[in-house]
A = this chain, B = another copy of it.
Amino acid sequence: MADKEERRIPEASVARLPIYLRCLSELTETAVATVSSVSLAELAGVNAAKVRKDLSYLGSYGTRGVGYEVEYLTHQIRLELGLTQDWPVVVCGMGNLGQALANYGGFGSRGYPIGGLIDADPAKVGTELHGHTIHHIDDLDRVVEESGATIGILATPAEAAQSVVDRMVEAGLKSILNFAPSIVSVPEGVSLRKVDLAIELQILSFYQGRSEQDLTPPIVSR
């Protein structure tokens, strides 16, 4: 076949790798050295064949008859996901949600330190939050450059979302996590994911009304 590039991990598999990673870190904490696809599947809440298939895209890191070495597999997944380096994030929009995200300590410890906080309100600019000064959106380019950030979190009101995201892209951010209740578009080459609390609740509402026979299967992440 002589194809030059073999490696292409399906989107659905990529989305599950972080879940496996979390399960593996639990296993590390409880001093478990090896894990079978069946056990890992149980922890992750998925089918065992799916686990094996997902992991096979990374390479052959398991041992037949034994399972996967927890530490080694952890390392390989982290490598694949690019988690061997820190990825500073710039948070745009310091309303309720933006402030909560900035105060949430979990990011830094997971390899996503705050690279900068941004708002358009002059009253907020210059104030401190969780040890970070809030900068004006006009200084976004500089903040991105100085922090080396490539990931941006969009937490503005819906009205401002598209114009802020345009400026984020212009400032050089390559990945955007959109918390604004709005559909935004980005040029090719920029990754976009969306988290929308109201939409999640509305999806749950749908399955609320259903009768016993058609139950929703549990859905993860989204």
Residues of chain A whose beta carbon lies under 8 Å from any beta carbon of chain B: 5, 8, 11, 14-15, 17-19, 21-23, 43-45, 80-83, 87, 89, 96-97, 99-101, 103-107, 110, 112, 150-151, 174-175, 177, 181-183, 185-186, 188-189, 191-209, 212-222
Are B100 and A151 within 8 A (Cβ)?
no
In the complex the two chains form, is B195's CB within 8 Å of A197's CB? yes
Q: How far is the CA of A215 from the CA of B17 in the complex (A)?
A: 18
Given contacts A96-B104, A193-B222, A188 and B215 within 8 Å (CB-CB): yes
Is A107's CB under 8 angstroms from B23's CB? no
Majority SS of interface residues in chain A? mixed
Besides A21-B202, A22-B199, A191-B215, 6 other A-B contacts (C-beta < 8 A): A19-B183, A45-B183, A100-B101, A106-B181, A106-B198, A175-B207
Contact B87 A198, beta carbon cutoff 8 Å: no
A42 CB → nearest B CB, Å: 9
A204-B177 in contact (CB<8A): yes
Residues of chain B within 8 A of A89, CB atoms compared: 201
